Amino acid sequence: MTPFNGETSDFDSLNLRGMRVLLVEDSWQLGMALKSLLRSFDAEVDGPVATTADAENLISANIPHAAVVDINLRQGERSYGLIDRLIGQGVPVIVTSGYSDLPMVPAKAFVLEKPISEQKLITILRSVAPAQ
């Protein structure tokens, strides 16, 4: 992840209190770092999980306000179907990938290329957060 370097007052004010975020990432280290980052902004985080089946189980218990989803998951699994289902349910999706060209990602999804900019991630989540 790319940490935010600059004035922190605006960035720090972007709390995510009350927002439930689904985190789908097969890299344990990155998943835990993202979870820690999101929690530091008071988000409720479901995951990280490394497969679409695990993500579907979490969604069946609680539909998230937003989702951060890696394209390439465990054992070569792709998350395109999960992304489509989430968008179909009205859940904003932030797609993460090491690739810049992702032609199969729906236009309604946000795309963040790895390494992920913390500032961009939090700013996008804040822009789609439910009104408090």
Over residues 87-116, the pLDDT tens digits come to 999 999 999 988 777 778 888 999 999 999
Q: What pLDDT is stored for residue 45 in this prediction? A: 98
pLDDT tens-digit map of 9-46 = 455 566 899 999 999 999 999 999 999 999 999 999 99
pLDDT at residue 6 greater than cutoff 60 = no
Check residue 95 and report its DSSP letter.
Answer: E
- With the C-alpha atoms ordered 114, 86, 110, 8, is the resulting torsion angle positive or negative? negative
- Report if residue 37 sits inside a domain: yes
- Report if residue 8 sits inside a domain: no
- Report if residue 34 sits inside a domain: yes
pLDDT at residue 62 greater than cutoff 80 = yes
Question: Residue 91: which of 120, 130, 34 has the closest Cα?
Answer: 130
Assessment of whether the complete model's pTM goes beyond 0.75: yes
- CATH number of the domain that residue 71 is part of: 3.40.50.2300
- Provide the domain count of the chain: 1
- Report if residue 7 sits inside a domain: no
- Report if residue 9 sits inside a domain: no
Q: What pLDDT is stored for residue 8 in this prediction? A: 46
Task: Classify residue 66 by burial, with Cβ atoms within 10 Å: 0-12, 13-18, 19+.
Answer: buried
Write out the residue range of the structural domain in which residue 73 sits.
Answer: 15-128
- Report if residue 41 sits inside a domain: yes
- Report if residue 5 sits inside a domain: no
Taking 3-state DSSP, the helix, strand and coil percentages for the chain, each rounded to the nearest 5, stand at: 40, 20, 40
